[in-house]
């Protein structure tokens, strides 16, 4: 399948996956499990987690089957979804392979950095004769944990697939069908292309959102007078710092240039303000406005 971001052009006329294991009961993993339960009632899904207390709480909630038994979760799965932090991906992948998988299983991850995923867990899975195709559903929340999971999280959201291990077209289509059934729009590209893209449209915006909160609320009491604008601009900066530190370090090579471009644009604006150059300030703001309006155009 060719690279490039062409949303919605993946052929999905293939059979559905019936048995799914989701490893990691956080926001994304929990949302995948809940979405399967809601949208694919003919499929069985089990959610795996290490923490017995949390898993028991999920189980008691009755919304999805949950277990701490990794072998039970993956032994009959046709699709294994790795939804754990970047640092836990490799060790968990080794455990999964030791427990045994179906020959035709597809393993995917939902991480936001793909080159490292293909180099580590992807290579490991492929070396054991199984299929690995990366997934990145561009959906999330500043909240975390299963309590924030939403069965409709992926509705209308882009989901980028990466096939750097050159799995057959039919396998890519099969995984694309799964995400489409959860409501997503799918595209396929190389992992390095994905990482360059998300550095600009996700990772640097997260940094700027965090910096916005840091600067605007140097005096916390000033927040008493903040309007919706500050809440909107700083919202994603409220995400889990530990998780985002891992993401930023993992994609640091792709983040560096757009982050420096951001700093340069801010320095330029500061110079325009110092010089009282109304035309230059207006031009910068108008350009930003035009770019922002592109997000509201119908896809």
Q: Running along the chain, 299 residues long, what does each successive block of 10 average in pLDDT?
A: 45 67 96 96 95 93 93 95 91 92 95 94 95 95 88 97 97 97 97 98 98 97 96 94 95 98 98 98 98 85
CB 112 within 8 Å of CB 138: no
Closest to 167 measured CA to CA, from 1, 3, 282, 12: 1
Which pLDDT value is given to residue 244? 94
Check residue 299 and give its pLDDT.
57
Rounded Cα distance, 294 and 81, in Å: 32
Look up residue 144 and give its two tokens. 């975390």
What is the C-alpha radius of gyration for the chain, rounded to an integer number of angstroms? Answer: 21
| pLDDT computed for residue 298 by the predictor | 63
Question: E strand or H helix at 109, and its extent?
Answer: strand 106-109
Question: In the prediction, which pLDDT does 62 show?
Answer: 87
Q: Which domains does the chain have, with CATH numbers?
A: 19-189 (3.40.50.720), 195-294 (1.10.3660.10)
d(CA 290, CA 280): 15
Nearest to 299 by CA among 13, 4, 6, 2: 6
Confidence at residue 13, expressed as pLDDT on a 0 to 100 scale: 42
pLDDT of residue 3: 45
Determine the pLDDT at residue 1: 40
pTM of this prediction? 0.90
For residue 297, the model assigns a pLDDT of 85
Contact assessment for residue 81 and residue 109, using Cβ atoms and an 8 Å cutoff: yes
What was the pLDDT predicted at 250? 96
């Amino acid at each position: 399948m060719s690279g490039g971001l062409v949303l919605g052009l993946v052929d999905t006329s293939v059979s559905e996956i019936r048995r799914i294991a989701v490893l990691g009961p956080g926001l994304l993993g929990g949302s995948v499990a809940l979405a399967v339960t809601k949208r694919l009632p003919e499929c069985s899904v089990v959610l795996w987690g290490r923490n017995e207390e949390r898993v028991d709480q999920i189980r008691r909630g009755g919304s999805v089957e949950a277990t701490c038994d990794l072998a039970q979760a993956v032994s009959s799965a046709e699709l294994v979804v790795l939804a754990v932090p970047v640092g836990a991906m490799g060790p968990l992948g080794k455990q999964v392979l030791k427990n045994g998988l179906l020959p035709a299983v597809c393993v995917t991850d939902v991480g936001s950095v793909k080159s490292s995923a293909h180099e580590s867990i992807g290579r490991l899975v492929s070396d054991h004769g199984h299929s690995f195709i990366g997934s990145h559903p561009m959906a999330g929340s500043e909240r975390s944990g299963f309590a924030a999971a939403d069965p409709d999280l992926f509705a209308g959201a882009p989901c980028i697939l990466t096939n750097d291990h050159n799995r057959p077209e039919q396998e890519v289509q099969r995984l694309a069908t799964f995400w489409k059934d959860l409501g997503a729009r799918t595209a396929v590209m190389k992992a390095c292309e994905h990482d360059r893209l998300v550095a600009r449209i996700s990772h640097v915006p997260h940094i700027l959102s965090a910096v916005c909160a840091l600067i605007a609320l140097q005096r916390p009491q000033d927040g008493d007078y903040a309007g919706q604008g500050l809440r909107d601009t700083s919202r994603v900066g409220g995400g889990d710092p530990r998780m985002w530190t891992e993401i930023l370090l993992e994609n640091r090579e792709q983040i560096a240039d757009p982050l420096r471009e951001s700093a340069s644009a801010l320095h330029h604006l500061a110079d325009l303000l110092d010089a009282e150059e109304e035309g230059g300030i207006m031009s910068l703001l108008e350009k930003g406005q035009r770019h922002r309006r592109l997000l509201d155009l119908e896809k």
